[in-house]
Amino acid sequence: MKRALALVLAAVLTSEGSAYIDTLYPLQQFIAESEVIAEGVVEKTDAKKGVSLVRVTKSIKGKCQYDLLRLNLGIGQEWHPEAVLPHFVAGAPAVIFYNAERRAEVYVNRFFLQFSGDAGQPADKAWWSFTHVEVHCNRTFNGTTEELARILVDVQAGKIKPPPADPKAPPITKDAIKSLPAWGQPVDAEKLPAPFVRRDPSKPRKSRVPENPQGIEKGLAIQVFEGTWESLPDFDALKPAATGVAEQFDLSKRRREEHYGLRFTGFIDIPREGTWTFHTVSDDGTRLRIGNEEVVTNDGVHGAKEASGEIALRAGRHAITLLYFQGGGPASLDVLWEGPDLPKQKVPGAALTHTPAP
């Protein structure tokens, strides 16, 4: 891992080509390592061309050399431009961070984006090129842009200290950004996608209430899909090639060795209340949800790789969904859990149930 920017610590996922913040990066560090911090507003966006203009309105730290930022959003990695462009609506506020190398971060609508510099061009002709969404930087801050601007102004004035980072916040995903209301739309703070829900990391998380359904049977409902993808597809938009019941999270119900997807749905029996950690070890991508909360994100084409996430749960049966896809080559899938008085181990079939189809 190397610094792509004195401002931001970035790492590259070697097999997927996407970058992300893989360590906790407090807001104080953003502030200290930025030579310039400024407020701005989206002036206009051309979604077809993938470009946006952001007017700089106020310097918070240092002297901003730009009156207008020309952002080339269409060249970012993987799904990032597709997910980000709808959030660059006219009138949306932005916060801009950059250093002498013109490596920059732009914060809009609750998430950070990284841009490469202007290559020494005059400020009135410079273009900033989008590289990626800082998918873990919502652990640094995930409130509104207006809140961030106020905090930065007060920090610079010596009135407050920056709020702490939240190491337990789940990373941003494509689905999370797509379901996040654009600036100007009505927002229910309690119903935001999980990566954007604000909480005090010093306080224990509220435990999720179980569904505890009636009329359940052993095993998980499974749908088998066939296709070629580089990341998890929208299974809701696809017709399954087969359906059935799986005894546990494994690949036994596949119909081919390559180019397929699986969706497991049902309930997991949590024996006691507390913070539970789930792990997926997969080749290729997986995503695990408890209810509507995304707990583990392990997407993309890669070899066997482990990813983890935590959630506070009450005892009882909770809705669980696991999405999996296999591209080419080797394939593997394991789901593990650990919790109060339970060491890390595979989720047993005895803990899994589903509601049978009528």
- pLDDT digit string, tens, across residues 277-293: 999 999 999 999 999 88
Give residue 33's domain range: 2-179
Poorest-pLDDT segment among 198-202, 267-271, 309-313: 198-202
85 contacts: CB under 8 Å, gap ≥ 6: 45, 47, 50, 52, 73, 74
Residue 199 in domain = no
Residue 233 identity: P
Q: Please report the pLDDT score of residue 63 as a whole number.
A: 93
pLDDT band at 9 (very low <50, low <70, confident <90, very high): very low
Residue 200: inside a domain = no
Q: What is the per-residue pLDDT for 15?
A: 31
Q: Residue 29 belongs to what H/E stretch? A: helix 27-33
Whether residues 57 and 113 fall in one domain: yes
Domain boundary (157, 179, 201) is at 179
Q: Tell me the mean pLDDT in the region 78-84.
A: 91
Which pLDDT score, from 0 to 100, does residue 293 have?
Answer: 85
- Which pLDDT value is given to residue 342? 93
> Is residue 45 one of the residues assigned to a domain?
yes
Q: In this predicted structure, what is the pLDDT of residue 11?
A: 34
Q: Is the pLDDT reported for residue 3 higher than 80?
A: no
Q: Residue 114: inside a domain, yes or no?
A: yes
By residue count, the chain amounts to 358
Does 227 lie in the same domain as 171? no
Residue 66 has pLDDT above 50, yes or no: yes
pLDDT of 30 > 80? The answer is: yes
The whole-number average pLDDT for the span 158-162 is 92
Same domain, 159 and 11: yes
Q: Are residues 252 and 300 in the same domain?
A: yes
Domain count, the chain: 2
Q: What is the pLDDT of residues 102-155, one digit of tens each?
A: 789 999 999 999 998 776 788 888 899 999 999 888 889 999 999 999 999 999
Residues 172 and 31 placed together within one structural domain of the fold: yes
What average pLDDT score do residues 78-83 get?
A: 90
Confidence of residue 7 (pLDDT cuts 50, 70, 90): very low
Please report where in the chains the tokens 């909770």 appear, as a residue.
Answer: 318
Would you say residue 1 has pLDDT above 80?
A: no
154 plus 105 within the same structural domain: yes
Per mean pLDDT, which range of 141-155, 193-207, 310-324 is the poorest? 193-207
Separation of alpha carbons 226 and 261, rounded Å = 6
Regarding whether 107 and 49 lie in a shared domain, the answer is yes
Q: Among 132, 158, 179, identify where a domain stops.
A: 179
276 three-state secondary structure: strand
Please indicate, yes or no, if residue 184 is contained in any of the structural domains: no
What is the pLDDT of the chain when averaged over all its residues? Answer: 88
CA dist 130 and 112 (Å) reads 11
SS3 assignment for 198-211: CCCCCCCCCCECCC
Rounded CA separation 285/314 (Å): 28
pTM for this model (two decimals): 0.66
Give pLDDT tens digits for 11-23: 333 233 333 444 5
Q: Which two tokens stand for residue 329?
A: 């080559």
Query: What band does 168 get if pLDDT is binned at 50, 70 and 90?
Result: confident
Mean pLDDT of 310-319: 94
Clarify whether residues 13 and 96 are in a common domain: yes
Does residue 191 form part of some domain? no
Q: What is the identity of the amino acid at 121?
A: Q
Pick from 153, 179, 205: which residue ends a domain?
Answer: 179
Residues 111, 242 within the same domain: no
